[in-house]
Chains A and B, each alone.
Chain A
Amino acid sequence: MKVLTANRLTDGIAVWWCETDGWIETILGAKPAASKDEEAALEAVGTEAGRTNFAVDINLIDVNVVEGVPVPVRIRERIRAAGPTNRTDLGKQAEGKLPPQAAPTPFITPANA
């Protein structure tokens, strides 16, 4: 399944497309496309966001839905949805915009934990 994501032109902040609320700053409300038609609809939204200069670097990304929340498949996108993993005081994770299921794997080995 795929959700639509981009970075906002004015400040570069990562945003996701939510059917009801438009572009939002958390992946939490992004509704994954369940069919090819829905994917095409998301793509059209993305193209429009580019055309109207709202957003840049617009992409559909793969997600799995875990407990009702879209969780990116790639670690890159999980970090993008969270903020830097070495600075949990910054980014979405610090602003209450990260659903716990979508958090990237922490980088801790048992010996150092």
Chain B
Amino acid sequence: MYRYDEFDQAFVNARVAEFSDQVQRRLSGELTEDQFKPLRLMNGVYLQLHAYMLRVAIPYGTLSSRQLRMLAHIARKYDKGYGHFTTRQNIQYNWPALADMPACLADLASVEMHAIQTSGNCIRNVTADHFAGAAADEVADPRPYAEILRQWSSVHPEFSYLPRKFKIAVTGAERDRAAIQVHDIGLHLKKNEAGELGFAVYVGGGQGRTPMIAKKIKDFLPEEHLLSYTTAIMRVYNLHGRRDNKYKARIKILVHETGTAELSAQIEQEWLAIKDGELKLPQSDIQAIDRYFALPDLPARPEGDEAIKLARLDSRDFGTWVDQNVITHKHPDYACVTISLKGIGEAPGDASDAQMNLVADIAERYAFDEIRVSHEQNLILPHVARADLKAVYDRLVEGQLHTANAGLITDIIACPGLDYCALANARSIPVAQEISDRFADPVRQQEIGELKLKISGCINACGHHHVGHIGILGVEKKGTELYQITLGGSGDEVTSIGEIVGRGFAPEEITDAVETVVDTYLGLRLDKSEKFLDAYRRVGAAPFKEALYGSDAKAA
């Protein structure tokens, strides 16, 4: 894991001191709200419906046990005993007082954490594949590059006042688990024929009001040019991105309005001027960062298969959990574990302080002290010996964290929605809870198979509904909540934006409507191996519209 050097720590400490002073000046009345608001946002402090909200950055979703314990401590001391893990691999607290923020940020700084650049028109937390450094199918760990980008983009003077916020995601495997094509910049780390590392570069993806799939503007960017090329993209965007209209200010609109060929020519031109300058990364620098992310020393534990076989005989639930929540590790004796924060009927992504402490303990004892936050709002133990899976499972049961639903219909992404968020039009969490309750039966979930359901409480799409196999968007119509369904979205290597099927559904109708969609799929799939998304891509929206709206379907 990356550890702060003296510079990092001094920088974060200085920021805590600076913001503490700003909070004091605000509380004493020296600063007005208009003066203070941009300052608090630069430090991750929002004002929501019920209270302030603090968003803490978790760089590329990687945490140590010590850090996760601190997140639990903050939930207990400054909040109401829980936190919400977000689709940007961050955590949000819903109730901290402004007066407590300095203490809260000082506590975070003591474990090398902060809330800088979790808001505002700057480069936000760089996200990455949550199985990075562990997954069997990856070419190389994308996190060293995410870390290089983090260091470069932190309070970057040229890129602190962009036309709009800017999100970068990195993956190191063909199978895209970081949804890179719906980010402002998506980087796919790969090797060329000579075995050298570099990136396929995508630009201009995004969700929100105008969802767009990113355009690939480079097939292979050698790794040493990561910062020079990213700088070139940022410069072109900073100069030409629209500042006249907030809704047209993201780079996706610039790509769309300029055209991919023209824009990439502009980027190329900018890049040629700087590519061999100071931003060119020396191999020694890359290697120095790489070392922080070295795979832990994993001792051989060949007894795993036998242990799992025996444990399966003992507990069918354990077997189901292994089949659903455990994936292949690059070391044959190890596995990556998904800890579901989607217990049946629970708020997606919420974890109590006790649960965070429990996961920290498990990670320390069984998982080399490492935890990841996934953009799907779950926690991950990237390195667990297969021989220890049963012990890990038993500990998870203690915290009600053993739900075996990774990738199934109850593994729902949901944003905070109108229960917390000041921008929301409709609730999302209760929709997720109700759908989860409806599909609670594990046998039924298994029968349905992989199905990604994603819910947002407004068009900002923090709940990624555009790329849900089934997406739900909450809107407000005549003072009541209404839910629009989209189908066929996907945020992986074959990204697609879901299509709106027709008129929206009232709160009391939405779960039935989802069930209708699922039943329609079950009725038309070729066989069990044809997943929901594949079936949808084969047959299109028509049968689903027919099932949802009957003879109204054509009008819808």
Give A residues with C-beta under 8 Å from B. 7, 9-14, 50, 52-53, 56-57, 73-76, 79-80, 83-87, 90-91, 105, 107-112
Task: Tell me whether B52 and A11 are in contact (CB under 8 A).
Answer: yes
Please pick, from B47, B97, B481, the residue contacting A10 in the complex, using a CB distance under 8 A. B97
| Chain A residue at minimal CB-CB distance from B51 | A12
The CA of A21 and the CA of B514, in the complex, are separated in Å by 48
Q: List 28 A-B contacts (CB under 8 A).
A: A9-B33, A11-B98, A12-B48, A12-B51, A50-B33, A56-B47, A75-B418, A75-B476, A76-B49, A79-B49, A79-B418, A80-B49, A80-B50, A83-B50, A84-B420, A86-B427, A86-B430, A86-B433, A90-B80, A90-B95, A107-B430, A107-B433, A107-B434, A108-B434, A109-B434, A109-B508, A109-B512, A111-B512
- CB within 8 Å of A: which B18-38 residues: 26-27, 29, 32-33
The CA-CA distance from A31 to B427 in the complex, in Å, is 28
Q: Please tell me if the beta carbons of B429 and A86 are within 8 angstroms of each other in the complex.
A: yes
CA distance A37 to B486 in the complex (A): 47
Given contacts A13-B50, A53-B29, contact A79 B419 (CB under 8 A): yes
CA distance A18 to B208 in the complex (A): 39
The smallest beta-carbon distance between A12 and chain B, in angstroms, is 4
Q: A53, A57, A91, A107 — which one has the most chain B CB atoms within 10 A of its CB? A: A107
B37: nearest chain-A partner, CB-CB: A56
CB contacts under 8 Å to A, within B397-430, are: 418-420, 424, 427, 429-430
Report Cα–Cα, A50/B489, bound state, in Å: 45
User: Across the interface, which residues of A come within 8 angstroms of B437, CB to CB?
Assistant: 112
B50 pairs with A11, CB closer than 8 A: no
B51 and A13 form a contact (CB under 8 A):
yes
List the 10 closest A-B pairs by CB distance, nearest first: A107-B430, A11-B97, A12-B52, A84-B419, A12-B51, A109-B508, A53-B29, A86-B429, A80-B49, A56-B33
Q: Which residue of A lies closest to B81 (CB)?
A: A90
**Residues of chain B contacted by A112 (CB below 8 angstroms):** 434, 437-438, 511
- Minimum distance in angstroms from A57 CB to a CB of chain B: 6
Q: Whole-angstrom distance between the alpha carbons of A111 and B98 in the complex?
A: 42
Identity of the chain A residue whose Cβ is nearest the Cβ of B419 in the assembled complex: A84
With A84-B94, A86-B427 given, name 16 new contacts (CB 8 A): A11-B97, A12-B47, A12-B50, A12-B97, A13-B51, A14-B49, A57-B47, A74-B479, A79-B419, A79-B427, A86-B419, A90-B80, A91-B50, A107-B427, A107-B433, A109-B512
Contact B47 A7 (CB under 8 A): yes
Q: Is the CB of B430 within 8 A of A85?
A: yes
A111 → chain B closest CB, angstroms: 7
For the complex, is B347 an interface residue (Cβ under 8 Å from A)? yes
Say whether A9 contacts B438, CB under 8 Å: no
In the docked arrangement, what's the CA distance between A93 and B204, Å? 43
A84 contact set on B, CB distance < 8 A: 50, 94, 419-420, 429
Tell yes or no: B480 within 8 A of A by CB. Answer: yes
A14 to B27, CA, bound (A): 17
B481 partner, pick from A12, A13, A75, A109, beta carbons under 8 A: A75
Contacts of B52 in A (CB 8 A): 11-12
Q: How many residues of B contact A (CB 8 A)?
A: 40
Q: How far apart are the CA atoms of A44 and B97 in the complex, in Å?
A: 26
Does B51 contact A7, Cβ atoms closer than 8 Å? yes
Judged by a CB distance under 8 angstroms, whether B509 is at the interface is: yes
Complex: A50 Cα to B99 Cα, angstroms: 17
Take A12-B98, A14-B50 as given contacts and tell me if A76 and B418 are in contact as well, using a CB distance cutoff of 8 Å: yes
With a CB–CB cut-off of 8 A, which chain A residues contact B27?
9-10, 53
A14: which B residues are within 8 A, CB to CB? Answer: 49-51
B431 at the A interface (CB under 8 A): yes
- Give Cα A109–Cα B27 distance, bound, in whole angstroms: 45
**Of B97, B419, B511, which one neighbours A85 at CB under 8 angstroms?**
B419
Please report the C-alpha to C-alpha distance between residue A10 and residue B24 in the assembled complex, in whole angstroms. Answer: 10
Is the CB of B507 closer than 8 A to any CB of chain A? yes
CA distance A74 to B424 in the complex (A): 12
Which residues of A have CB within 8 Å of B26? 9, 53
Q: Are the C-beta atoms of A11 and B433 separated by less than 8 Å?
A: no
- With CB as the reference atom, state the residue of chain A lying closest to B426: A75
* Chain A residue contacts of B480, Cβ below 8 A: 75
User: Bound state CA distance, A10 and B49, in angstroms?
Assistant: 15
Closest A residue by C-beta to B32: A53
Task: Given A50-B33, A109-B509, check contact A11 B99 (CB 8 Å).
Answer: yes
Say whether A10 contacts B99, CB under 8 Å: yes
Q: Are B507 and A109 in contact (CB under 8 A)?
A: yes
Residues from chain A with a CB closer than 8 A to the CB of B508 are: 109-110
Contact B29 A10 (CB under 8 A): no
- Report the Cα distance A57→B80, complex, angstroms: 23
Write the nearest CB–CB distance from A1 to chain B, whole angstroms: 16
CA distance A52 to B476 in the complex (A): 34
Q: Which of A7, A56, A73, A86 has the most CB of B within 10 A?
A: A86
Q: Mark B479-520, 1 if CB is under 8 A from A, else 0.
A: 111000000000000000000000000011111100000000
Contact check, B29 vs A52: say whether CB atoms are below 8 A apart: yes
Q: Which residue of B lies closest to A76 (CB)?
A: B418
Per-position 1/0 for B322-364, Cβ under 8 A of A: 0000000000000000000000000100000000000000000
User: In residues 428-450 of chain B, which contact A (Cβ within 8 Å)?
Assistant: 429-431, 433-434, 437-438
Q: Does B50 contact A111, Cβ atoms closer than 8 Å?
A: no
Given A7-B47, A13-B50, A53-B29, also A107-B431 (CB < 8 A):
yes
| B80 contact set on A, CB distance < 8 A | 90
- Least Cβ–Cβ distance between B459 and chain A, in angstroms: 15
Contact of A10 with B429 at beta-carbon distance under 8 Å, contacts A56-B47, A73-B479 already known: no
Complex: chain B residue closest to A54, CB-CB: B29
Q: Cα distance A84–B429 when bound, in Å?
A: 10
